[in-house]
Amino acid sequence: MRRLGLSLRTEEAYVGWVRRFILANGKRHPREMGAREVEAFLSGLVTRDRVAASTQNQALAALLFLYREVLALELPWMDNIRRAKKPLRLPTVLTREEVAALLAQMSGVTWLMAGLLYGAGLRLMECLRLRVQDVDFVRREITVRQGKGGKDRRTVLPAMVVDALQGQMAEARRLHARDLAAGFGAVWLPHALDRKYVNATREWAWQYVFPAHVRSIDPHGGVERRHHLDETVLQRAVKAAVRRAGIAKPATCHTLRHSFATHLLEAGSDIRTVQELLGHADVSTTQIYTHVLNRGGSGVVSPLDR
C-alpha cells in the first residue's frame, strides 16, 4: 500500500478489514477461501452488524486489494459481488445565523480553523495540512495541495480571518525557531521531497500553519518531528460549540463546508465557480447543494400558505 502511495488512513482501514475477515473465518489463510467466504462476510456486515452501504463497500475494496495486489490472485468471481447501493442523502446545512452562533461559541485556534472550513470551503484535513507557502495574503487565496483525489486547487481566503491567521503563523514561527534551537525543526514532506530538496524540511515555507503542541514519532520512519494538530482537536471543539449554541442539527466540521457551498449558491455564485472552489471533479456532485436552496423547485409556495 505504501508503494502504491495510499494514505495512512487507507492503510489502517484495509488492514483492519483484512484482520476482521480472517478472524471471522477461524484464522484461515485467505488463499484457502473464496467467493463463499467473502460473500458471507460482506452479507454479515449488513444483516448482523447493520453497517452502512459505504462501510460494506470499504470492506469489499479492502478484500479486493488483498486478493489482487497482495496475493496476486486472479479471482473473476470478485467482480460479480454486488456492491451495496449508497442512498442519496441531502447534506446538513446551517443557516447564516446558525453559523454565526456556532462561531461565537469558539475562540482561539479552533475558531480560526472553523472559520476556514466555512469561509474557504476546506475539508477538515485540508485545513490541518495547510503549510505556510499555501497561504497568499496578497492575492487573498489559499492553495490546497493534494486534496481529495490527489488534486490541487485554489480557494478564497476570507478577509475576516486574515489578522488571526497572521497571528497564528507568527506563533507557529516562534515554535519552529525553538525546535530548530533544540536540534529538531524538520517537517514531513510528501513524495520523497526531503531527498530532492535536502534543506526543505527545515525551511519556514514548508512548516504547518497549525502545528501540534508536542513533537511525535513518525509511524513510518520512526523520526521525531512536529506534525500538524490532530483532527480530534477541532472535531471536539465544533461538537461542543454546536451544543452550547443550541443548534438542533447533526452538525460536524464537514457541515461548515456544506454551508459554504450552499450560501455561495444562495448569493448567486455560478455553480461552476463553486465546483472549482470545492474541488469537485464533476458538477453533478456540486448540484446536490441546489436541493437545499430556498428557491427553484424547492422554493415554491405551499398551497396551505396561500
Catalytic residue among 20, 145, 148, 202: 148
Handedness of CA 69, 73, 78, 80 (dihedral sign): positive
Q: Which of 129, 176, 263, 280 is catalytic?
A: 280
Phi, psi of 216 (to 5 degrees): -140, 170
**Is 257 noted as a catalytic residue in this protein?**
yes
249 tagged catalytic: no
Amino acid letter at 16? G
Residue 63 has a CB neighbour count (10 Å cut-off) of 23
Please name every residue paired with 225 in a beta bridge, in sequence order, or none if there are none. Answer: 216
Residue 123 bears catalytic tag: yes
Query: Catalytic: which of 257, 263, 272, 291?
Result: 257
Of the residues 123, 226, 258, 263, only one is catalytic, namely: 123
How far CA 30 is from CA of 38, 67, 82, 193, 302, in Å, comes to 10, 8, 20, 37, 58
- Annotation marks residue 220 as catalytic: no
- H-helix segments, the chain: 8-24, 35-47, 53-65, 96-104, 108-120, 124-128, 162-181, 193-196, 231-245, 253-266, 271-278, 283-286
Query: Which one is catalytic: 14, 67, 208, 289?
Result: 289
Q: Verify whether residue 50 is a known catalytic residue.
A: no
Which of these is catalytic: 145, 153, 215, 254? 254
Q: Count of CB atoms within 10 A of residue 1's CB?
A: 15
Give the residue carrying C-alpha cell 460473500. Answer: 39
In the annotation, is 118 catalytic?
Answer: no
Residue positions annotated with a catalytic role:
123, 148, 254, 257, 280, 289
